[in-house]
Amino acid sequence: MLAYVIRRVAGTIPVIILISLLVFMLVQAAPGDPADLLLSDEATAEDVADARARWGLDQPVWVQYWKFLTAALQGDLGTSFRYADPVLTMIAERLPATIELAVVSIIIAVVIAVPLGVWAGARPNSWIDNLGSLVGLFGISMPNFWFGIMLILVMSGILNLLPSSGRDTYGIAGDPITGFYLLDSVIKGNWRGLWDGLAHIAMPAIALGTNMMGILMRVTRSSVMEVMHEEYVTTARAKGVSERAVLWHHVVRNALVPIVTVVGLELGTLLSGSIIVETVFSWPGSGQLLISAITSRDYPLITGTVLTYTMAFVIINFTVDILYAAIDPRIRFDK
């Protein structure tokens, strides 16, 4: 296991460096000068030149990248052009909101999609299979930004049941401890804050998790249907094992590998793909921060945020690989 971990870590280093290079070059190639965009209209040519020199934009691109890379290896992602704050600090303040939204979204998707997919796969062409197919088609086909707008229109505008934007109500949350609103509310025993956090996160989590719910339901159904025809399932039934035990102990357990794979991949996608949903619901996460950085050509903030998403993908994929061995004892990493 240790050798496998070392190989994986060593293999991710060139990937991260290559992604940082691509992002840095693409950002530099984008039209627009940060100095022109961020300075006022009254700024003179001398002011623009001074800002470019202060931010290092007057140096060759390869020199800028080398300085960025050496600083990043030391844990410094630079200073934001627009906010004049350390990029790492800004991301650390916003990332908990994005992680919280992604986790709640994936919980909603798993709780609905996995049981529905298992039942649909165990009873093909039944009414539960037709219902599951409908849910899967809806989830895959529904654009999350349009679904989010419809949720706001119905749940907030017409029914007035849930808040339409933001993460919390002013004066209820209190001082943060971990940065995760729901967790902080539980730690402090602030049940009013917990309810307020759930009310604010409900619609963006549903809008973000609907697509994953459709994908996960279809994968679960296909995986269960494939395992249902294996010989060990037939043997378990011949021994008199109840159908419920056969389904949940033998079939589902052996169908978990593709399900866990999809969950891991989709969790990484949710972290990076929450940008649109965060914008629709004015959710104060790293996705909204990235949009703000792109519009102002804030090079350090853009690169730092994208690298954070890259690291999240790497960590999630590595965790999924480790879970394979826990799910399927036939999988070993020492060979």
What is 301-316 written as a DSSP string?
Answer: HHHHHHHHHHHHHHHH
Portions of the chain given CATH number 1.10.3720.10 = 95-327
Q: Of 28 and 215, which is predicted with more confidence?
A: 215
Residues above pLDDT 70, as percent of the chain: 95
Instruction: Write down the pTM of the prediction.
Output: 0.84
Q: Using the predicted structure, report yes or no on whether residue 177 has a pLDDT greater than 70.
A: yes
For residue range 70-88, what is the model confidence (pLDDT) as tens digits? 888 888 888 888 888 899 9
Number of other residues whose CB lies within 10 A of the CB of residue 278: 26
Structure tokens at 216: 């996960």
Summarize the confidence of residues 52-73 as an average pLDDT.
Answer: 85
Give the pLDDT band of residue 31 (cuts 50, 70, 90). confident
- Does position 152 have pLDDT exceeding 90, yes or no? yes
pLDDT of the residue at 204: 92
- Count other C-beta atoms under 10 Å from residue 1's C-beta: 10
Asked if pLDDT for residue 335 goes beyond 60, the answer is no
Secondary structure E strands in the chain: none
Closest Cα partner for 27 from 310, 297, 320, 226? 297
What kind of fold does domain 95-327 have according to CATH?
MetI-like fold (1.10.3720)
The number of beta carbons lying within 10 Å of the beta carbon of residue 319 is 12
Residue-level pLDDT at 151: 92
**214-247 pLDDT, tens digit each:** 888 888 888 888 888 788 888 888 888 887 888 8
pLDDT confidence tier of residue 328, bands split at 50, 70 and 90: low
List pLDDT tens digits, range 87-122.
Answer: 999 999 888 999 999 899 999 989 999 888 888 888
pLDDT at 154: 92
Contacts of 9 (CB under 8 A, 6+ apart): none
List residues bridging with 79 in a β-sheet.
Answer: 86
Match 């902080």 to its residue by tokens: 184
pLDDT recorded at residue 330 = 63
Cβ neighbours, 10 Å, residue 147 = 20
* 196 contact partners, CB below 8 Å, separation of at least 6: 168, 169, 172, 173, 185
Please give the Cα distance from 259 to 57 (Å, whole number).
46
Query: What band does 33 get if pLDDT is binned at 50, 70 and 90?
Result: confident
Asked whether the predicted pLDDT for residue 333 surpasses 70, the reply is: no
Query: What's the mean pLDDT in 265-286?
Result: 82
User: How far is 260 from 257, CA to CA, in rounded Å?
Assistant: 5
pLDDT > 60? residue 325: yes
Structure tokens at 104: 């709640």
Query: 78's torsion region: left (phi>0), alpha (psi -120 to 50) or beta?
Result: left
Please report the pLDDT score of residue 206 as a whole number.
92
